[in-house]
Amino acid sequence: MLEKEYLTSTNNVRLYIYYKPTDDTSKTVRVRLTHLPSGSVIQNIAMSSHPDLDNEDWVVAIKFNGPQIKLYRPACPTEPMWTNVKAMPRSISTSSSLMYSKKDQRFYVPTPGSDYLYSLHPNSKENDHPEFVDMFPDYLPEEHLDHDVDEMNSCATTVHFVEAASGEQFFVKWFFKDQLEIDDKGLESKKKSHQKNKAVHGV
């Protein structure tokens, strides 16, 4: 379980990790990570394993709004600070989530346009360059190759790379758009509504 303290500003950001395993033989983990830079705005967090202060390979990765990713190794006494991965503008999709693949032992996030995966090793050092994994050509399943295409083209899209517990990997596209609604007074308002349509491709 991962918790973030309530923040009244972004000038004093720290993460507090509390993990209580269901297995009674495993240790409960409570750790407060080093301060993040002033003004940090976190989009999402991914970890290479369950929290374990006896495991020096446990890595916490943070994706900020924008192209910046930072790594932290809570159990490694020689690396008590955040590692700044070299920022590469326009190399990370701002609307996509960072994830960790246990199968590949890599952190991944789609690039804008979803043609590649930004790939980062958990042991990356300061200013290391990431790798880019070529994705398969973009396509829609046959059941969407009809009147749904025009509707999908009018939607905003978010893309995500996910991995099942079995190790199967999927590339997911979500389509959504704003819809105008007219209330009983004749006033228009915008309502963001997620569409049921989604394209899921196995990798």
Report d(CA 60, CA 16) in Å as an integer. Answer: 12
Domain boundaries defined on the chain: 1-130, 136-203
Per-residue pLDDT of the chain (203 residues; tens, 9 = 90+): 444 444 444 556 788 888 988 888 788 999 888 888 888 888 889 999 999 999 999 999 999 887 789 999 999 877 768 888 876 767 888 778 899 999 999 999 888 877 888 899 998 888 777 888 887 645 555 555 555 666 666 777 778 888 998 988 888 887 777 655 555 554 444 444 444 445 455 55
Contact at 8 Å (CB) between 43 and 65? yes
Report d(CA 74, CA 95) in Å as an integer. Answer: 27
- Residue 23: how many CB atoms within 10 A of its CB? 7
For the whole model, what pTM was predicted? 0.73
φ, ψ of residue 140 in degrees (nearest 5):
-115, 145
Residue 152 falls in which region: left (phi positive, over 0), alpha (psi -120 to 50) or beta = alpha
Report d(CA 70, CA 85) in Å as an integer. Answer: 6
Report d(CA 6, CA 65) in Å as an integer. Answer: 19
Can you give the pLDDT at residue 191? 44
If DSSP states are collapsed to H, E and C, what string results for the chain?
A: CCECCCCCCCCCCCCEEEECCCCCCCCCEEEECCCCCCCCCEEEEEECCCCCCCCCCCCEEEEECCCCEEEECCCCCCCCCCEECCCCCCCCCCCCCCEEECCCCEEEEECCCCCEEEEECCCCCCCCCCEEEECCCCCCCHHHCCCHHHHHHCCEEEEEEEECCCCCEEEEEEEEEEEEEECCCCCEEEEEEEEEEEEEEEC
Contact at 8 Å (CB) between 61 and 83? no
